[in-house]
Amino acid sequence: MCMLCVIPPNIIPSREKLENSALNNPHGFGFAIAVPSEQRIIVERTMNADESINKFLELRTQHMEGYAVWHARFATHGSKVVENCHPFPVGNDHRTYLAHNGILDCEAPKNDDRSDTRIFADEVLPGIGGVTALDNDYVWGMLSDYTAGSKVAILTVDPAAKHPLYLLNQADGWEDTDGVWWSNQTCFLESWATAYRAKSKIMGYYDGYYDMGYDTKGREYAKSGMALDLDEAAEEVVECPNCLYVTDSIELVYSSNTCQQCGWCFECTQGYMECDCYTPSQRQLTMEY
Protein backbone atom coordinates (compact mmCIF):
# COMPACT_ATOMS: atom_id res chain seq x y z
CA MET A 1 0.00 0.00 0.00
CA CYS A 2 2.06 2.95 1.34
CA MET A 3 1.30 6.63 0.99
CA LEU A 4 3.47 8.79 -1.21
CA CYS A 5 2.76 12.50 -0.86
CA VAL A 6 4.32 15.14 -3.13
CA ILE A 7 4.13 18.79 -2.06
CA PRO A 8 4.83 21.61 -4.55
CA PRO A 9 6.75 24.76 -3.56
CA ASN A 10 5.08 27.19 -1.13
CA ILE A 11 2.48 24.66 0.02
CA ILE A 12 1.98 22.88 3.35
CA PRO A 13 -0.08 19.66 3.32
CA SER A 14 -2.99 18.91 5.63
CA ARG A 15 -1.90 17.55 9.01
CA GLU A 16 -5.09 15.49 9.14
CA LYS A 17 -4.32 13.78 5.84
CA LEU A 18 -0.77 13.00 7.00
CA GLU A 19 -2.06 11.54 10.27
CA ASN A 20 -4.66 9.43 8.48
CA SER A 21 -1.98 8.19 6.09
CA ALA A 22 0.16 7.14 9.06
CA LEU A 23 -2.74 5.26 10.66
CA ASN A 24 -3.40 3.34 7.45
CA ASN A 25 0.31 2.77 6.68
CA PRO A 26 2.04 2.27 10.05
CA HIS A 27 5.36 0.61 9.19
CA GLY A 28 7.71 3.59 9.07
CA PHE A 29 7.83 7.21 7.95
CA GLY A 30 10.14 9.63 6.20
CA PHE A 31 10.37 12.87 4.31
CA ALA A 32 12.61 14.91 2.07
CA ILE A 33 12.50 18.70 1.66
CA ALA A 34 14.48 20.34 -1.12
CA VAL A 35 16.31 23.59 -0.39
CA PRO A 36 17.32 24.66 -3.92
CA SER A 37 19.07 27.87 -2.86
CA GLU A 38 21.49 25.80 -0.79
CA GLN A 39 21.57 22.80 -3.17
CA ARG A 40 20.68 20.37 -0.39
CA ILE A 41 17.84 18.11 0.67
CA ILE A 42 16.72 17.74 4.28
CA VAL A 43 15.90 14.08 4.98
CA GLU A 44 14.61 12.32 8.09
CA ARG A 45 13.30 8.79 8.63
CA THR A 46 11.73 7.29 11.74
CA MET A 47 9.39 4.55 12.96
CA ASN A 48 7.40 7.13 14.97
CA ALA A 49 4.50 8.74 13.09
CA ASP A 50 4.01 11.73 15.40
CA GLU A 51 7.71 12.48 15.31
CA SER A 52 7.76 12.40 11.51
CA ILE A 53 4.67 14.54 10.99
CA ASN A 54 5.60 17.14 13.60
CA LYS A 55 9.16 17.48 12.37
CA PHE A 56 8.12 17.58 8.73
CA LEU A 57 5.55 20.35 9.24
CA GLU A 58 7.99 22.31 11.40
CA LEU A 59 10.75 22.14 8.78
CA ARG A 60 8.37 22.70 5.89
CA THR A 61 7.28 26.06 7.30
CA GLN A 62 10.96 27.06 7.38
CA HIS A 63 11.78 25.80 3.87
CA MET A 64 8.99 26.48 1.40
CA GLU A 65 10.93 27.25 -1.80
CA GLY A 66 11.28 23.73 -3.16
CA TYR A 67 9.34 20.51 -3.59
CA ALA A 68 8.90 18.13 -0.66
CA VAL A 69 8.01 14.45 -0.32
CA TRP A 70 6.46 12.69 2.68
CA HIS A 71 6.01 8.91 2.90
CA ALA A 72 4.21 6.42 5.14
CA ARG A 73 5.17 2.79 4.62
CA PHE A 74 3.03 -0.34 4.48
CA ALA A 75 5.63 -3.11 4.39
CA THR A 76 5.50 -5.70 1.59
CA HIS A 77 9.23 -6.45 1.13
CA GLY A 78 12.00 -6.09 3.69
CA SER A 79 11.83 -5.78 7.46
CA LYS A 80 9.91 -3.10 9.31
CA VAL A 81 13.00 -1.13 10.28
CA VAL A 82 14.03 2.48 9.78
CA GLU A 83 16.62 1.43 7.18
CA ASN A 84 13.75 0.44 4.88
CA CYS A 85 11.80 3.65 5.38
CA HIS A 86 11.52 6.00 2.42
CA PRO A 87 12.97 8.15 0.95
CA PHE A 88 16.28 6.67 -0.20
CA PRO A 89 19.28 8.38 -1.79
CA VAL A 90 19.78 7.39 -5.42
CA GLY A 91 23.06 5.53 -5.32
CA ASN A 92 25.46 7.43 -3.10
CA ASP A 93 24.25 10.82 -4.33
CA HIS A 94 22.56 12.69 -1.48
CA ARG A 95 21.45 15.41 -3.90
CA THR A 96 18.72 13.03 -5.13
CA TYR A 97 16.15 11.04 -3.12
CA LEU A 98 13.48 8.57 -4.16
CA ALA A 99 10.20 7.42 -2.59
CA HIS A 100 7.67 4.94 -3.92
CA ASN A 101 4.15 3.51 -3.59
CA GLY A 102 3.52 0.01 -4.91
CA ILE A 103 5.64 -3.04 -5.65
CA LEU A 104 8.71 -3.06 -7.91
CA ASP A 105 10.20 -6.08 -9.62
CA CYS A 106 13.49 -5.91 -7.75
CA GLU A 107 14.48 -9.29 -6.36
CA ALA A 108 16.76 -9.15 -3.34
CA PRO A 109 19.67 -11.62 -3.11
CA LYS A 110 19.45 -14.28 -0.43
CA ASN A 111 19.77 -12.84 3.10
CA ASP A 112 19.39 -9.30 1.73
CA ASP A 113 16.89 -7.47 3.94
CA ARG A 114 16.47 -4.43 1.70
CA SER A 115 13.02 -3.49 0.43
CA ASP A 116 12.27 -3.47 -3.30
CA THR A 117 12.30 0.34 -3.32
CA ARG A 118 15.65 0.49 -1.60
CA ILE A 119 17.15 -1.87 -4.20
CA PHE A 120 15.68 0.28 -6.97
CA ALA A 121 17.28 3.39 -5.44
CA ASP A 122 20.57 1.66 -4.63
CA GLU A 123 21.11 -0.21 -7.88
CA VAL A 124 18.50 0.05 -10.64
CA LEU A 125 18.21 3.81 -11.19
CA PRO A 126 21.95 4.47 -10.68
CA GLY A 127 22.66 1.61 -13.08
CA ILE A 128 20.90 3.38 -15.94
CA GLY A 129 22.45 6.77 -15.31
CA GLY A 130 20.76 8.21 -12.23
CA VAL A 131 18.41 11.16 -12.14
CA THR A 132 19.71 12.76 -15.36
CA ALA A 133 18.69 9.64 -17.29
CA LEU A 134 15.07 10.62 -16.61
CA ASP A 135 15.48 13.54 -19.01
CA ASN A 136 15.75 11.05 -21.86
CA ASP A 137 12.35 10.32 -23.43
CA TYR A 138 13.21 6.69 -24.11
CA VAL A 139 14.37 6.04 -20.53
CA TRP A 140 11.31 7.81 -19.12
CA GLY A 141 8.99 5.62 -21.20
CA MET A 142 10.90 2.48 -20.26
CA LEU A 143 10.73 3.28 -16.53
CA SER A 144 7.05 4.22 -16.78
CA ASP A 145 6.37 0.75 -18.17
CA TYR A 146 8.66 -0.94 -15.65
CA THR A 147 6.95 0.79 -12.72
CA ALA A 148 3.40 0.41 -14.06
CA GLY A 149 1.02 -0.04 -11.14
CA SER A 150 3.39 1.92 -8.89
CA LYS A 151 4.16 5.60 -8.37
CA VAL A 152 7.72 6.83 -7.94
CA ALA A 153 8.81 10.34 -6.92
CA ILE A 154 12.41 11.47 -7.43
CA LEU A 155 13.40 14.74 -5.74
CA THR A 156 16.69 16.35 -6.73
CA VAL A 157 18.87 19.42 -6.39
CA ASP A 158 21.42 18.10 -8.88
CA PRO A 159 22.12 21.04 -11.23
CA ALA A 160 22.60 18.59 -14.11
CA ALA A 161 18.94 17.51 -13.90
CA LYS A 162 16.41 19.48 -15.96
CA HIS A 163 13.68 19.26 -13.33
CA PRO A 164 13.55 19.40 -9.52
CA LEU A 165 10.88 16.70 -9.26
CA TYR A 166 10.12 13.65 -11.39
CA LEU A 167 6.91 11.70 -10.80
CA LEU A 168 6.46 8.40 -12.60
CA ASN A 169 2.82 7.42 -13.20
CA GLN A 170 1.50 10.72 -11.87
CA ALA A 171 -1.95 10.10 -13.39
CA ASP A 172 -2.44 7.10 -11.09
CA GLY A 173 -2.61 9.41 -8.06
CA TRP A 174 -4.73 12.47 -7.38
CA GLU A 175 -4.31 16.12 -6.46
CA ASP A 176 -6.25 17.81 -3.66
CA THR A 177 -7.56 21.37 -3.67
CA ASP A 178 -4.32 22.62 -2.07
CA GLY A 179 -2.28 21.28 -4.97
CA VAL A 180 -0.79 18.40 -2.96
CA TRP A 181 -0.48 15.10 -4.86
CA TRP A 182 -1.42 11.84 -3.06
CA SER A 183 -0.72 8.35 -4.39
CA ASN A 184 -3.99 6.84 -3.15
CA GLN A 185 -6.96 7.34 -0.82
CA THR A 186 -5.33 6.19 2.42
CA CYS A 187 -5.01 9.81 3.55
CA PHE A 188 -8.64 9.49 4.64
CA LEU A 189 -9.47 7.79 7.91
CA GLU A 190 -12.14 5.77 6.14
CA SER A 191 -9.59 3.96 4.09
CA TRP A 192 -9.95 2.55 0.58
CA ALA A 193 -10.86 -0.83 2.07
CA THR A 194 -13.99 0.55 3.74
CA ALA A 195 -14.88 2.52 0.65
CA TYR A 196 -14.76 -0.36 -1.82
CA ARG A 197 -16.40 -2.76 0.64
CA ALA A 198 -19.49 -0.56 0.55
CA LYS A 199 -19.52 -0.41 -3.25
CA SER A 200 -18.73 -3.99 -4.22
CA LYS A 201 -20.06 -7.43 -3.51
CA ILE A 202 -17.93 -9.52 -1.15
CA MET A 203 -17.71 -12.96 -2.70
CA GLY A 204 -15.60 -14.76 -0.11
CA TYR A 205 -12.17 -14.85 1.43
CA TYR A 206 -8.74 -16.40 1.03
CA ASP A 207 -5.63 -16.49 3.19
CA GLY A 208 -2.79 -15.63 0.87
CA TYR A 209 -1.61 -14.83 -2.62
CA TYR A 210 -3.12 -17.02 -5.31
CA ASP A 211 -2.11 -18.03 -8.79
CA MET A 212 -4.50 -19.15 -11.49
CA GLY A 213 -7.40 -19.21 -9.06
CA TYR A 214 -5.73 -20.92 -6.10
CA ASP A 215 -4.35 -19.57 -2.86
CA THR A 216 -1.03 -20.52 -1.29
CA LYS A 217 -2.51 -23.59 0.39
CA GLY A 218 -3.73 -24.93 -2.94
CA ARG A 219 -7.39 -24.18 -2.29
CA GLU A 220 -9.50 -22.57 -4.97
CA TYR A 221 -10.18 -18.95 -4.07
CA ALA A 222 -13.71 -17.62 -3.73
CA LYS A 223 -15.79 -17.39 -6.89
CA SER A 224 -19.42 -16.65 -7.46
CA GLY A 225 -21.55 -18.97 -5.37
CA MET A 226 -18.79 -20.14 -3.03
CA ALA A 227 -16.72 -18.89 -0.10
CA LEU A 228 -13.88 -20.18 2.03
CA ASP A 229 -14.09 -20.77 5.76
CA LEU A 230 -14.36 -17.30 7.34
CA ASP A 231 -12.42 -18.48 10.40
CA GLU A 232 -9.36 -18.80 8.16
CA ALA A 233 -9.98 -15.55 6.29
CA ALA A 234 -7.35 -12.86 5.99
CA GLU A 235 -8.12 -11.00 2.76
CA GLU A 236 -11.47 -10.17 1.20
CA VAL A 237 -12.28 -11.27 -2.30
CA VAL A 238 -14.72 -9.09 -4.22
CA GLU A 239 -16.51 -9.13 -7.53
CA CYS A 240 -16.30 -6.20 -9.94
CA PRO A 241 -19.87 -4.86 -10.33
CA ASN A 242 -19.16 -4.06 -13.99
CA CYS A 243 -17.59 -7.21 -15.46
CA LEU A 244 -17.88 -9.71 -12.53
CA TYR A 245 -14.09 -10.24 -12.42
CA VAL A 246 -13.08 -11.63 -9.01
CA THR A 247 -10.29 -9.70 -7.33
CA ASP A 248 -8.88 -9.14 -3.82
CA SER A 249 -7.71 -6.35 -1.56
CA ILE A 250 -4.00 -6.79 -2.37
CA GLU A 251 -4.64 -6.64 -6.11
CA LEU A 252 -6.82 -3.56 -5.70
CA VAL A 253 -4.08 -1.69 -3.84
CA TYR A 254 -1.62 -2.11 -6.68
CA SER A 255 -4.15 -1.35 -9.41
CA SER A 256 -5.14 1.96 -7.73
CA ASN A 257 -8.57 0.59 -6.77
CA THR A 258 -9.54 -0.26 -10.35
CA CYS A 259 -10.54 -3.59 -11.86
CA GLN A 260 -7.60 -5.04 -13.81
CA GLN A 261 -10.01 -6.72 -16.21
CA CYS A 262 -12.20 -3.78 -17.34
CA GLY A 263 -10.81 -0.67 -15.59
CA TRP A 264 -13.89 -0.09 -13.42
CA CYS A 265 -13.09 2.33 -10.57
CA PHE A 266 -14.11 1.14 -7.10
CA GLU A 267 -13.82 4.69 -5.76
CA CYS A 268 -16.20 6.63 -8.04
CA THR A 269 -18.00 3.53 -9.43
CA GLN A 270 -17.46 4.51 -13.07
CA GLY A 271 -15.69 3.07 -16.07
CA TYR A 272 -12.12 4.14 -16.82
CA MET A 273 -13.23 6.57 -19.56
CA GLU A 274 -15.54 8.39 -17.13
CA CYS A 275 -13.45 8.04 -13.94
CA ASP A 276 -13.22 11.39 -12.16
CA CYS A 277 -10.97 10.37 -9.21
CA TYR A 278 -7.95 12.11 -10.71
CA THR A 279 -8.64 15.78 -11.35
CA PRO A 280 -5.32 17.60 -11.81
CA SER A 281 -5.15 21.37 -11.53
CA GLN A 282 -3.34 23.69 -13.90
CA ARG A 283 -0.14 23.11 -11.92
CA GLN A 284 2.02 20.27 -13.25
CA LEU A 285 4.34 18.57 -10.79
CA THR A 286 6.59 17.15 -13.44
CA MET A 287 7.40 17.19 -17.12
CA GLU A 288 4.97 15.79 -19.66
CA TYR A 289 6.04 13.00 -21.95
Domains, in order of start, for the chain: 3-182 (3.60.20.10)
Quote the pLDDT of residue 199: 42
Each residue's pLDDT expressed in tens, for the chain with a length of 289 residues: 689 999 999 999 999 999 999 998 898 999 999 999 999 999 999 999 999 999 999 999 999 999 999 999 887 666 778 888 999 999 989 999 999 888 777 666 666 667 778 888 988 999 999 999 999 999 999 999 988 888 999 999 999 999 999 999 999 899 999 999 999 988 987 544 444 444 444 444 333 333 334 433 343 443 333 333 434 334 456 767 666 667 766 566 656 677 776 777 776 666 655 665 544 443 344 543 3
For 215, counting Cβ atoms within 10 Å of its Cβ (0-12 exposed, 13-18 middle, 19+ buried), the class is buried
Contacts of residues 20-24 at CB distance under 8 Å and 24 or more positions apart, as own/partner, are: 20/186, 20/187, 20/188, 20/189, 21/72, 21/182, 21/186, 21/187, 22/49, 22/52, 22/53, 22/72, 23/49, 23/189, 24/72, 24/74, 24/186, 24/187, 24/189, 24/191
Q: Please, are residues 3 and 49 in contact by the beta-carbon 8 Å criterion?
A: no
Per-residue model confidence (pLDDT) at position 151:
92
CB contact set of 219 (below 8 Å; sequence gap of 6+): 206, 228
* Residue 90: predicted pLDDT: 95
Q: What pLDDT is attached to residue 251?
A: 65
DSSP string, 230-278: GGG--EEEEE-TTT--EEEHHHHHHTTTB-TTT--BTTT---TTT--S-
**How is the beta sheet containing 40-46 ordered, strand by strand?**
40-46, 29-35, 68-72, 3-7, 181-182, 174-175
